[in-house]
Amino acid sequence: MFTIDFASLRLIGLTPAIANQLYALSEQQHGEHLQAGRITEVQRDWITVHHGDSSNRVRVPMRLLHELEAEDSQLAVGDWVLTDNSQGGHCIVVRMPPVSHLARRNNDGRKQALASNVDTALLVMGLDSDFNLRRLERYLALTRAACVVTVIVLTKADISVGAELRLTEVRQRISASVPVFAINGQSAETATTLLPWMDAGQTLILLGSSGAGKSTLTNTLAASHQDTGVVRASDGRGQHTTTARSLHLCPGGACIIDTPGLRSLQLDINEAAITASFDDIEALAQQCQFRDCSHQSEPGCAVNTRIDADRLRNYQKLLREARRNHQTPLDRIADRAKWKVLMRSVKERDRQKRG
């Protein structure tokens, strides 16, 4: 008979709602040797699942991989699964549909899973040369689209010149509904600052570029011993100390997913999600004189004079990316045809001017 050791699994994020879903999945599988667990590490050659009392490397059947591929999905750290160990080794039988899921698009356009079943995302950005408001807005669009609570954590406040000025820049540019903290990632006070988001059973993920201080912050919050590295003096970039996503347990019962730094973040979200993350622009757009206002130089625009110019450019860039990423093949063909016609008309006009 399938049972769940709630006390031990709660330490790695189990909630009553997730337990109910796992029970329902077990009844569908009709298995007598099923065990609930959570994926804590995804490497190229293996997957680790924590069952509450122990961690085990598990096999993933090709059947499940094909099913996930058909759904344009992948197994990710944070996924809840049912495993079967009746054949002499642990094997994943089924994955529970994630409550929340974070993913991006690779340069080749394929989806890459980042993490599943996350409650809070800590967007980590250094107050040194890592400081980049456009990138921060991109991360914020990703987490808001996944309905994940977001907290901005600005690291290296103890060694950065002008930290207060940059903290003010972030607060002026980002919605007041998103908490922003400037911290020293090695200080014990940081754990106290972030305590409201670290209740027992909560799952947090650290997102940011290489060298931002994610592994240092993980060590502080989870009392773990992740390797940390220095940043290059020439450009302030990190050197990918963390090479795989992994889940770590915190003393208070929360768990943290540490991730490798992302050199690029191509969003896998639609226009509506982009608009929702720039809600200040959307609210002002309702006051524009023209409904199809592009917020460039149209008369009666309520946006371009009241929104930071760089924030507005970033918003428009993300919208263009979202439209391009969600185009069908026929849409792309139609766009190419439109541009060909436009370019031919420009060339013809130039030819006529030259006589």
pLDDT of residue 310: 92
pTM: predicted TM-score of the whole model, two decimal places = 0.81
Q: What is the pLDDT of residues 220-259, one digit of tens each?
A: 998 765 544 444 344 444 444 445 678 888 888 899 998 8
pLDDT of residue 331: 67
The helix or strand, by DSSP H or E, that contains position 83, with its residue range, turns out to be: strand 80-84
All domains of the chain in start order, with CATH: 6-99 (2.40.50.140), 104-258 (3.40.50.300), 270-338 (1.10.40)
Residues 6 or more apart in contact with residue 183 via CB below 8 angstroms: 153, 154, 155, 157, 189, 190, 193
> Per mean pLDDT, which range of 62-66, 81-85, 277-281, 321-325 is the poorest?
321-325
How confident is the model over 313-341, as a mean pLDDT? 79
Residues 247, 40 contacting (CB under 8 angstroms): yes
Residues 2, 26 contacting (CB under 8 angstroms): yes
